[in-house]
Structure 1
Amino acid sequence: MGQLHGRTDFIPDRDIPSLDGKVILVTGGTAGLGAVTVKALARHSPAHIYFTGRNAAAAEELIQEVQANDVSVGLSFLTMDMMSLHSVRDCIQTGFRHERLDILICNAGIMAKPAELTQDGFEIQFGINHLAHASVIRQLTPVLLKTAEQLNADVRLVVLTSTGFRGHPSQGIDFEKVRTTQNSVGGSWIRYGQSKLANVIYTAEFARRHPSITTVSVHPGVVATDLVNGLSRVQRGFVVFTNWIAGRTLLQPEEGALNQLWAAAGAPKAEMVSGAFYMPIGVESNHMLDSVAKSPELATKLWRWTEETLKVYQETTP
């Protein structure tokens, strides 16, 4: 077991209230933190849970496991390749069938990958961690806002980020090079930092623009999922060492999911600070953000750039 801080007494089975009638969507739900999150939320009787991924066999196993214990929960697996913005668009447009959405958890992501481009020609970590999720959010914003208009609504958007955002380029986001591999010495971590910074500032900007939706970015901790286990020996050693220097140990997936579960459903709405960055578990940590991560000018620039970029992929056919 790892070392947790903050609200260490948070127990999802005990502290998450009934989710009766609520509709939830979790990206990257077939394994790791996403699968833990789906299973934990299903135990509180939501009306329906959508989850995305590429592994249909793993999705079917998850559905069978959940429904063996929570037969009343509706589950839908949406096949989504986040390397392709057309796939992201088609997945949401054809797969999401409800007229309400109460909880959207942007959980999927990659870390410290070799230099590569997505199918659309974007640096892979920026393309998946930021642009693909921004596409999901953009498409589902109308239904989130519609749900927020209902009596006693409590609509939440939770976006996973990482303290790795601190490794971002000096200017924050290199807009001139996001359509290149941005390869350089130590570049995999710089590219990762850029994508995680984008998660933080895009989330904060969404909160400013849509105050009826409680919107936060969360760091899960450093977790022993495929994100870490799939790294090279040198990279994994770097992660373990830096975590040890910070006085922390690797968390298990059940621990790593606690912060997003707290933010998505466990915390009373009145306790949430919309637009904030949370460390685990439930610790509002905007003081940890540097001047770049707090820059409203950069947030506005990223928002406008993202809107213009996504229009091309959401209004045309491949």
Structure 2
Amino acid sequence: MPSLSTARASNAKFSPKSRPVIVVFGGTNGIGAGIIRAFARHTPSSVGAHIVIIGRSKASADVLIASLPAHTTSRYDFLSLNALLIHDLRTFIREQLFGTLGLTKINYLILSQGEVVMKSSARTSEGIHPMLSLALYGRARAALDLAPLVEAAAALGEEARIMTVVKAGAGGPLDLEDLAFSKGSMIGNRGRIVTYTDIYTAAIAARHPTISVIHVDPGMVRSGLKRGFPFFLRWIMSFVEWLFGTSAEDCGEWMMYALLDPSSKTGAWAKSPHADTIEPNRWAVDETARRVVWQHVEERSDL
């Protein structure tokens, strides 16, 4: 396991030949903001970076952008999106990323949007639990819809990678009789959500063999994700994070290090909080189960 100083030193050697395009969903705070700070800090001023920050809070985005290096070669765009509804997410991608910004490539697509909703019966107007809509189906669909832009970067001979930040290595058994998570609580189903993530990252990587698709575990991070917990649990989680968690800034360094790993240039990968490669999830290796789950994720997110 490399040290944080090793990760920082490696990130400091980041030297793209042309200006990279970095798109971060859930980028206004927490892990997403940490990744943005790491890329902005380590990108050479001679090249700069185009960083697209997607999130709900313009105020948080303004503070974040003000803290980034003011290189004349860099460009920082904030786009407001509540990604709760998959139809709205897809419209946003089509109208804002392909349309308004006119992106022709994406070198690094980071998917970190999500929130904790404890109520098991909660549903969006699309009939999906909010946690699943944000962190599972919405992320898979964003990766599918934006994969052509990531492939365009690969066609230019540039880095072309997708990263989803969930909990690689912590998968659980599947229930093929309950593909849509109608039973049990979302917290209780977390292991299955992780296994679904492993399956869709492998499926997208197989469909787009010129790019890399990475599922990473960020570890315990001091972030705003706990805002969905009841008050007493938020207090407990804040104390636990203070004792054992890492800062969003340090996590951003680790995530950038994992994203840039030269051994993960193409294919599907699972990474630990310190960027080590994790063995395949034993619940996600059965071919029949993989096919059934992937078909479900693709169809359920086609809204």
> One-letter code of the match for 2:55?
G
Q: CA–CA distance in 1 between the matches of 2:222 and 2:15?
A: 28
Q: What is the match of residue 29 of structure 1?
A: 27
> How does 1:1-318 map onto structure 2 within 5 Å?
5-8=1-4, 9-11=6-8, 14-18=12-16, 20-43=18-41, 44=43, 45-66=47-68, 69-96=70-97, 97-111=102-116, 113-115=118-120, 116-150=122-156, 152-162=157-167, 165-166=170-171, 168=172, 170-171=174-175, 174-175=178-179, 177-178=180-181, 180=182, 182=183, 184=184, 187-228=185-226, 231-232=229-230, 233-234=232-233, 237=236, 249-265=244-260, 267-268=261-262, 270=263, 274-286=267-279, 289=281, 291-311=282-302, 313=303
TM-score, normalised via structure 2 length = 0.84
Q: Rate the CA distance shift 1:250–1:189 in 2: closer, same or farther, 3 A.
A: same
Q: Rate the CA distance shift 1:193–1:164 in 2: closer, same or farther, 3 A.
A: farther
TM-score, normalised via structure 1 length = 0.80
> RMSD value over aligned CA atoms?
2.9
Q: Percent of counterpart pairs with the same letter?
A: 22
- Kept in 2, the 8 Å contact 1:160–1:199? The answer is no
Deviates more, 1:188-197 or 1:198-207: 188-197
Q: CA–CA distance in 2 between the matches of 1:7 and 1:204?
A: 28
- Kept in 1, the 8 Å contact 2:34–2:251? The answer is no
> How far apart are 1:164 and its partner, in Å?
8.0
The count of aligned residue pairs is 291
Shift >6 Å, 4+ stretches: 238-241
The secondary structure found in structure 1 opposite 2:187 is helix
Q: Rate the CA distance shift 1:271–1:310 in 2: closer, same or farther, 3 A.
A: closer
Spell out, residue by residue over 1:247-268, the C-alpha distance to the aligned partner (whole angstroms, 9 max, x if none).
x922111222233211223x22
> One-letter code of the match for 2:111?
C
Structure 1 gap ranges (5+) = 314-318
Q: Rate the CA distance shift 1:217–1:172 in 2: closer, same or farther, 3 A.
A: farther
Spell out, residue by residue over 1:17-63, the C-alpha distance to the aligned partner (whole angstroms, 9 max, x if none).
34732111111000011111112212305441112111122112222
Q: CA–CA distance in 2 between the matches of 1:99 and 1:73?
A: 17
Q: CA–CA distance in 2 between the matches of 1:235 and 1:298?
A: 36
The secondary structure found in structure 1 opposite 2:178 is coil
